[in-house]
């Protein structure tokens, strides 16, 4: 069942335009009476039937609200040290499929990649499109926001989540499991900032900045994971632990 985000407050008839209308009519070749899911600007998901269709406009009616949420209880913001090449595309796509609510691309000391000004804006625009496409495919109820490229300091200030975890490759005392247990006991687990370094790792200075902002350094085990693996492993473990991959 295809799902489309409609920039409109929920109402009796939802109108899809632009590239989505063209995709529905020309690529999916859907017709009147066909069913699809919509998500409105105010976050209502519903199943509806096409009541009008051409290449620029698709109207969806007979809307039945979808009660169950597709969103995880734990709201993870992934702060990802800028990784090389297409890796950020991959990380953003997988983070959205898994359930991240927001992603912050972070310029870190050991990042090979340097992005600023118009180049950074262009990249964020591209990554936001990747987020929207992954949100449609994975049937999210929201389109996770890709924030502007930030420094570590800016990222910490802009994402003051209740729980902050920094996956640190040199950490050998605290496991992710232990950090999550403590956060749950303090009932702070549902609003979580997860910081992952770039290929070059996290510098002492960055670790200090994160610690001073209340982040807990955790180990993800004795094997060194690639930058594009670590965040996904950590998010999967967090969602497993919280029951967001299914309680049954």
Binding site for ligand SAM (CB under 6 A): 167-169, 171, 196-197, 199-202, 219-221, 223-227, 230
Distance CA 221, CA 198 (A): 17
Q: Which tokens in the block code for residue 137?
A: 């495919």
User: Least distance (Å) from ligand SAM to the CB of residue 14?
Assistant: 41
77: β partners: 102, 193
In the bound complex, what is the minimum distance in angstroms from residue 181's beta carbon to ligand SAM? Answer: 17
Nearest distance in Å: CB 154, ligand SAM? 18
**Smallest separation, CB 110 to ligand SAM (Å):** 7
Q: Which is nearer to ligand SAM, 50 or 216 (CB)?
A: 216
How do the residues of the chain divide into helix, strand and coil, expressed in percent and rounded to 5? 35, 25, 40
Q: Which residue, 99 or 198, has its beta carbon nearer to ligand SAM?
A: 198
Cβ proximity to ligand SAM: between 50 and 176 the closer is 176
Q: Which residue in the block uniquely carries the two structure tokens 């609003």?
A: 191
SS3 of residue 39 by DSSP: strand
Residue closest to ligand SAM when measured from CB atoms: 197
Are 8 and 40 in contact by the 8 Å Cβ rule? The answer is yes
Tokens of 209: 């900045």
Closer by beta carbon to ligand SAM, 156 or else 167 = 167
């Amino acid at each position: 069942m295809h799902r489309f985000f409609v920039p409109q407050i929920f109402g009796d008839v939802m109108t899809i335009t632009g590239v989505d209308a063209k995709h529905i009519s020309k690529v999916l070749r859907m017709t009147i009476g066909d069913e699809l899911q919509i998500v409105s600007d105010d976050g209502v998901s519903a199943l509806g039937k096409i009541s009008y269709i051409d290449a620029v406009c698709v109207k969806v009616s007979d809307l039945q609200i979808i009660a169950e949420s597709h969103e995880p209880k734990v709201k993870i913001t992934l702060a990802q040290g800028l990784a090389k090449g297409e890796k950020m595309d991959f990380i953003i796509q997988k983070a959205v499929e898994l359930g991240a609510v927001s992603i912050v691309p972070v310029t870190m000391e050991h990042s090979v990649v340097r992005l600023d000004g118009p180049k950074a804006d262009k990249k964020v625009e591209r990554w936001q499109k990747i987020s929207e496409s992954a949100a449609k495919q994975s049937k999210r109820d929201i389109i996770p926001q890709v924030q502007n490229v930030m420094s570590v300091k800016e990222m910490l200030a802009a994402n003051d989540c209740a729980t902050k975890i920094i996956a640190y490759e040199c950490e050998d005392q605290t496991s992710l499991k232990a950090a999550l247990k403590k956060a749950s006991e303090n009932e702070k687990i549902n609003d979580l900032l997860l910081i992952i370094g770039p290929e070059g790792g996290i510098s002492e200075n960055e670790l200090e900045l994160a610690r001073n902002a209340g982040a807990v350094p955790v180990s993800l085990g004795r094997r060194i994971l690639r930058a594009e693996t670590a965040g996904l492993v950590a998010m999967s473990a967090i969602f497993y632990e919280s029951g967001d991959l299914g309680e049954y």
